[in-house]
């Protein structure tokens, strides 16, 4: 029985990756707690209107994206372990201040600080994952942490359900405090890792180099476009189910549960063929095509009987999840392998910035396209995902050729005249 659990558990064997996984588990349990009760806490305890909550979170999220590149660059000049622990402590402090929020301006300030820290921390996390996993193991480490994160969010959401059942002001405050505690636990676990001081460099990397790397931006931009599938799953599909299909609303919970369970079970297994740039580019092409197939099946649920709609929704979710995991693994591999080795943090920050911009634009774009456009909207999204996936391999080859050319130029001896 124990051996069977170990084969199913996403936690790796004891070691540095296990320590980082436990830190991620603690952090994401807090995420699940907060996500479950945030809207109700802000409306029922703080007294904000749903419109104020939506506008505040959108504005804060857009401002928060600006921290991704500079804090990612800081991870190239500092120990990413210590920097991430400091950011986790800062996030704990900001999360605690939600208990003091009593107006929209105060909420907007706290939410903006939170978004800045979240955005910057994601770039630092990517640098720390690269340090812990090393060049050969960083994509495997990324996939492991993704599986662990999904497990943590699910556990946190389940625990948060007790507060929703109680539906009292103190129950919602306990969710805030629980989130604070998980940040502190995560920071303590991170500090159990060894330090990863940056290598000494004869020449300091130019600021903003990642933002000027056109070939890298093209690949990262394609990956960001593919990330629109996340908005389709978490926002558009639930609304589609309740407004355009005969499936019962509880099907939405079943869809999200299937996605979570498959992510926990398959994230590590499906990353094995995407650990370097060219194989990863081919995997991302495959991801785009598979995701497109999932969109087509979701489109078909518009005018079918209830039982068939449920089958199509769940079957499409299985296909979607495979594409989602391929996209996640290949995106991480490309972001690492096409980055300048001495500026991993800055490049991860740029990759996160582009993904954040796509996801910020996604809700308005996809709700208009699909909820107003019907099945045709799903077809357009499927075409966009397929075409974008097909474009990734040539873009990755161009990026590799450009990087190889730059390296050859930098290796040329400097002649001197007398």
Residue with tokens 């299909």: 245
223 and 284 both lie in a single domain: yes
99 and 158 both lie in a single domain: yes
For 376-402, letters b (16+ CB in 10 Å) and e give ebbbbbbebbbebbebbbebbeebbee
Residue 230 lies in a domain: yes
18 and 148 both lie in a single domain: yes
* CA dist., res. 304 & res. 296, Å (int): 14
Q: CB neighbours of 113 closer than 8 A, spacing ≥ 6? A: 94
Which pLDDT value is given to residue 417? 38
SS3 196: coil
Q: Quick one: CA dihedral 249, 253, 256, 262, positive or negative?
A: negative
Residue 3 lies in a domain: no
Which pLDDT value is given to residue 291? 98
Inter-residue contact 183 to 30 (CB < 8 Å): yes
Domain boundary among 124, 159, 190: 190
For 245-271, letters b (16+ CB in 10 Å) and e give bbbeeebbebbbebbbebbbbbbbebb
Residue 410 lies in a domain: no
Q: Please report, for the domain that includes residue 128, its CATH number.
A: 1.20.1250.20
* CA dist., res. 274 & res. 397, Å (int): 15
Domain boundary among 135, 159, 190: 190
173 and 297 both lie in a single domain: no
214 and 185 both lie in a single domain: no
* CA dist., res. 258 & res. 321, Å (int): 9
pLDDT along the chain (418 residues), means of 10: 56 90 94 85 88 86 90 89 96 96 94 93 91 88 90 88 86 93 97 86 61 93 96 89 89 88 88 81 96 96 93 96 94 91 87 91 89 94 98 95 62 39
220 and 112 both lie in a single domain: no
Residue 59 sits in which domain range? Answer: 14-190
* CA dist., res. 313 & res. 232, Å (int): 13
167 and 314 both lie in a single domain: no
230 and 184 both lie in a single domain: no
* CA dist., res. 344 & res. 342, Å (int): 6
| Encoded tokens for 147 | 């599986």
* CA dist., res. 275 & res. 408, Å (int): 24
Q: How many helices (H) and strands (E) does the chain have?
A: 15, 0
345 and 244 both lie in a single domain: yes
Q: What tens digit of pLDDT does each residue of 391-409 get?
A: 999 999 999 988 766 654 4
Residue 154 lies in a domain: yes
* CA dist., res. 413 & res. 232, Å (int): 52
63 and 115 both lie in a single domain: yes
Residue 380 lies in a domain: yes
Domain boundary among 135, 156, 190: 190
Q: What tens digit of pLDDT does each residue of 251-260 get?
A: 988 888 899 8
140 and 234 both lie in a single domain: no
Inter-residue contact 26 to 159 (CB < 8 Å): no
> pTM for the whole thing?
0.84
Residue 417 lies in a domain: no
| Encoded tokens for 31 | 């995420």
Residue 118's Cβ-side half-sphere holds a number of Cα atoms within 13 Å equal to 19
Q: CB neighbours of 218 closer than 8 A, spacing ≥ 6? A: 395, 398, 399
The number of distinct structural domains making up the chain is 2
Residue 198 lies in a domain: no
183 and 221 both lie in a single domain: no
Inter-residue contact 94 to 108 (CB < 8 Å): no
Residue 1 lies in a domain: no
* CA dist., res. 307 & res. 243, Å (int): 16
């Amino acid at each position: 029985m124990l051996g069977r659990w170990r084969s199913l558990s996403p936690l790796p064997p004891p070691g540095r990756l296990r320590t980082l996984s436990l830190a991620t588990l603690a952090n994401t349990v807090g995420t699940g707690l907060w996500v479950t009760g945030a809207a109700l806490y802000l409306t029922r305890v703080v007294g904000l209107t749903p419109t104020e909550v939506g506008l505040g979170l959108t504005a804060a999220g857009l401002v928060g994206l600006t921290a991704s590149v500079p804090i990612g660059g800081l991870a190239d000049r500092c120990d990413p372990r210590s920097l991430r622990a400091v950011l986790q402590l800062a996030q704990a402090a900001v999360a605690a201040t939600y208990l003091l929020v009593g107006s929209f301006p105060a909420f907007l300030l706290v939410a903006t600080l939170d978004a800045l820290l979240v955005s910057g921390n994601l770039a630092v996390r990517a640098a720390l994952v690269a340090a812990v996993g090393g060049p050969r193991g960083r994509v495997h480490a990324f996939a492991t942490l993704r599986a662990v994160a999904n497990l943590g969010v699910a556990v946190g959401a389940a625990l948060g359900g007790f507060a929703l059942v109680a539906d009292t002001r103190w129950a919602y405050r306990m969710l805030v405090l629980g989130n604070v505690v998980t940040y502190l636990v995560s920071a303590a676990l991170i500090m159990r890792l060894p330090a990863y001081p940056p290598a000494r460099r004869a020449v300091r990397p130019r600021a903003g180099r990642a933002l000027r790397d056109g070939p890298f931006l093209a690949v990262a931009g394609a990956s960001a476009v593919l990330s629109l599938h996340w908005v389709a799953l978490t926002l558009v599909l639930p609304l589609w189910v309740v407004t355009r299909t005969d499936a019962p609303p509880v099907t939405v919970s079943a869809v999200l549960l299937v996605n979570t369970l498959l992510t926990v079970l398959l994230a590590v297994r499906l990353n094995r063929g995407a650990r370097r740039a060219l194989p990863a580019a081919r995997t991302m092409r495959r991801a785009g095509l598979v995701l497109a197939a999932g969109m087509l099946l979701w489109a078909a649920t518009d005018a079918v009987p209830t039982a068939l709609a449920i089958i199509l929704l769940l079957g499409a979710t299985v296909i979607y999840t495979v594409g989602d995991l391929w996209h996640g693994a290949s995106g991480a591999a490309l972001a690492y392998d096409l980055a300048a080795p001495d500026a991993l943090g800055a490049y991860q920050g740029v990759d996160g910035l582009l993904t954040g911009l796509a996801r910020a634009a996604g809700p308005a774009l996809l709700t208009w396209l699909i909820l107003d456009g019907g099945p045709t909207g799903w077809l357009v999204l499927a075409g966009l995902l397929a075409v974008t996936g097909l474009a990734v391999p040539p873009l990755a080859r161009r990026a590799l050729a450009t990087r190889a050319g730059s390296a050859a130029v930098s290796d040329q001896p400097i002649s001197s005249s007398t």
